Amino acid sequence: MFERAKLLSGDSRHPGAMAAVACTEEALRQHIETLGVSNFVTIAVYNSNESHVVSGKASAVDAVVNLMKEMGVRAVKLKVDQGECRVP
């Protein structure tokens, strides 16, 4: 049990994050490419045509969230444990 918790705790030197974004997959992929963070963030969950969750390096997720908000797109950082984030 202890070993599992340790593995799921993530690497505090490289914090991860997740965020919900309300836009199409195509638009989200374009924005991730435009920001140059495709090696650090990925679309982790496909909820619907205009609802996705991104996951990855915290600074890259923050960049996606900030860009979306600047564009008037709903984007919310999710409260998750480090181990739940998938960093590409």
How far apart are the C-alpha atoms of 32 and 10, rounded to whole Å?
23
Q: pLDDT, tens digit, for every residue of 31-66? A: 999 999 999 999 999 999 999 999 999 999 999 999
What range does the domain containing 16 cover?
2-82
Q: Is the pLDDT assigned to residue 21 strictly greater than 80?
A: yes
Give 42's contacts (C-beta < 8 A, 6+ positions apart): 54, 55, 56, 86, 88
- Whether residue 21 lies inside any domain: the answer is yes
> Cβ(27)–Cβ(7) under 8 Å?
no
Q: Global pTM?
A: 0.80
Higher pLDDT, 37 or 8: 37
Residue 10, domain CATH: 3.30.70.250
Element (H, E) at 69: helix 58-70
Q: Is residue 37 part of a domain?
A: yes
